[in-house]
Amino acid sequence: MIESSKRHGTFAAVVALTGALLIVPALAQTTMPSAPPPTPPTAAPAAPGVAPAAPSTAPATKATPTKTSKRVSGVEARIKSLHSRLKITAAQEPQWQQVAQVMRDNAAQIEKLVSERNAKLKTMTAVDNLQTYSDISQAHADGLKKLVPVFDTLYGSMSDAQKKVADAVFRNIAEHHRATHKPAAKPAAPTTPAAPAPAPSKQ
């Protein structure tokens, strides 16, 4: 019974973790226009008798990062943070790498679907809109099914101290997710003023 409870807690933690790692960053809109490149300063006139230098034909050495790479790097940062917090040992690296790879694959699949959805937003019908969102939700569910068994294997290799840390880390994620999605409190009903006490009668 205790073991079953632990596994249920692990599953809930994975659900919360995957939601935090995949759906939230992936659903960010990518339709914001990028800022135009700055206008280069006007070159100073050449000194008399000096031939102007030929324009450089060397390729740019630094490519502009894409929005997709930023999201992927965000997933990598989360994976690195989780690796550190769980104190993964050298012996656990093979199991951890399987977990990390499933996270990357899941994120890439959702990123692909979100990019396709964003490209069609302006021309989609209501039915198309619902269908694309359904596809993303299904990919999220499929990703969970892939992540649970590999994480369960990793969890089984952990020491009791590591499991305690893992449970706390995932519990905090779940509680944060619950707090951010907590429904707004209903406004308090107005207080009815108390009726004034009757004046004492004179005898």
pLDDT at 201: 60
Whether pLDDT at 118 is above 80: yes
pLDDT at 132: 95
Nearest to 112, CA basis, from 30, 20, 19: 30
Q: Is residue 169 part of a domain?
A: yes
Range from 11-25, 69-83, 152-166 carrying the lowest mean pLDDT? 11-25
Strands (E), the chain: none
Q: Is residue 99 part of a domain?
A: yes
Non-local (6+) Cβ contacts of 117 within 8 A are 124, 132, 133, 136
Helices (H), 27-66: none
Q: Is residue 162 part of a domain?
A: yes
Q: Is residue 18 part of a domain?
A: yes
Q: Is residue 192 part of a domain?
A: no
What average pLDDT does the structure give for the chain? 73
Number of domains in the chain: 1
pLDDT confidence of 174, banded at 50, 70, 90? confident
> What is the per-residue pLDDT across 6-44, written as a single tens digit (0 to 9) for each?
554 454 445 445 554 544 444 443 333 334 444 444 444
Q: Is residue 37 part of a domain?
A: no
Spatial separation of the C-alpha atoms in residues 183 and 196, rounded to whole Å: 38
Q: 38 in helix, strand or coil?
A: coil
Q: Is residue 148 part of a domain?
A: yes
pTM of the model: 0.60
Q: 197 in helix, strand or coil?
A: coil
Q: Is residue 102 part of a domain?
A: yes
Q: Residue type at 158? A: M
Q: Which domain holds residue 77?
A: 2-28+69-180
pLDDT at 187: 63
